[in-house]
Amino acid sequence: MSQPWFDPQQFGMYFGAIGGGVGGSLAGILGAVTGVLAPRGRGKVPVIAAWVLFVLVGTASLAAGVVALASRQPYGIWYPLLLVGVILESVCTTLLFAVVLPAYRMAEARKLAAEEIRSGPGMPPAIRPE
């Protein structure tokens, strides 16, 4: 085993608190914001950017965990990194592609359908929106 990067007890405690507590709370808030904005088609760029940021943080944590495991770091160092990385990667990637992007696509389709109905050929010119 190589020299530990950090004190395993302290690192596990702090990384678990930050990754689990703060990261989990932020992910919950992002989920709530997404649930409100995505069906309305609002805030697409910042919402998707935030989900991509979570995926990137998960990728970085997963990569650091794999490097820590490969370099034979103690359990208290590689386990929190891998745990946070796997959870963020699996959950955030799945939600981004299975929930968030389809919700924005459906909102865009509803917007186009409503626009088509509003400007249909059967409406008199006086009522047709400009």
**% the chain with pLDDT above 70:** 91
Residue 9 to residue 77: CA distance in whole angstroms: 8
- Rounded to an integer, the average pLDDT of 85-97 is 90
Output the pLDDT for position 53: 95
Per-residue b or e along 52-66, where b marks 16 or more CB atoms closer than 10 Å to that residue's CB? eebbebbeebbebbe
User: Which distant-in-sequence residues (6+ apart) come within 8 Å of 73 by Cβ?
Assistant: 1, 2, 4, 5, 8
Radius of gyration, CA atoms only, the chain = 22
Amino acid 28: pLDDT: 92
